[in-house]
Chain A
Amino acid sequence: DTGVSQDPRHKITKRGQNVTFRCDPISEHNRLYWYRQTLGQGPEFLTYFQNEAQLEKSRLLSDRFSAERPKGSFSTLEIQRTEQGDSAMYLCASSSRLPGQSINEKLFFGSGTQLSVL
């Protein structure tokens, strides 16, 4: 299966600890997104990469959050000094836009990493 892969599936941590999540997009996809979803809410956009370049960050992404996508392949999302409010599902999605394609593109979501901060 060559879908979007996220690791770990679940992470329990104590407040103040640092955590890092990994996302492996579909191999030919050059666009990668991170979203965060809390219970009863829709996914909220966090940040976006085209290849290795981080082109947009949401205001939701405080200084404690950092994302990277070295070499334009897998991506990592790190949260430093975690807070209880960081508890959420962190979703990664990838997509590709072909030359001449319309503005629409299909996002393929990974299964997410469920973070619980105690």
Chain B
Amino acid sequence: QKEVEQNSGPLSVPEGAIASLNCTYSDRGSQSFFWYRQYSGKSPELIMFIYSNGDKEDGRFTAQLNKASQYVSLLIRDSQPSDSATYLCALSYGGATNKLIFGTGTLLAVQP
């Protein structure tokens, strides 16, 4: 079982709708969770991070974490065509290195 699992998509939503991206993880020792956005041919860019159960909101983005069920999600409200990208879920175990373990990413396509 992979440490971080994501549906590769594509997830297609109409402009203005809510896009819901999901991620599950296998190791309960995971401490922090991150969502990165990656446009085609570009490097990943951090959108949100969360480490406590519940919701965390930042503008049009809401990250949700449920450690008991081992899933983390990202909601994008009022989706725009410019949100079309691959969204990477990542986790960290903390510690000295604090390296990130990434999922394969979900391709989001927002239709105008």
Chain A residues near B (Cβ < 8 Å): 31, 33, 40-45, 48, 50, 55-56, 91, 97, 102-107, 109-112
Contact = CB atoms under 8 A, between A and B. Distances in A.
A24 to B, nearest CB: 14
Given A40-B104, A42-B104, A103-B32, A55 B96 contact: yes
A110 B44 CA distance: 9
B90 A42 contact: yes
Q: Which residue among A33, A56, A103, A111 has the maximum number of chain B CB atoms within 10 Å of its CB?
A: A103
A112 B42 CA distance: 8
Interface in B26-56: 31-32, 42-46, 49, 51
A102 B98 CA distance: 11
Interface residues of B, number: 25
A103 B99 contact: no
Contacts of A105: 98
Given A103-B32, A103-B51, A45 B100 contact: yes
Closest 4 CB pairs of A and B: A42-B102, A109-B43, A103-B94, A45-B99
A2 to B, nearest CB: 16
B69 interface: no
A13 to B, nearest CB: 20
B104 A55 contact: no
A2 B108 CA distance: 30
B8 A40 contact: yes
Interface string B1-37: 0001000100000000000000000000001100000
A97 B45 CA distance: 18
Contacts of B44: 43, 91, 109
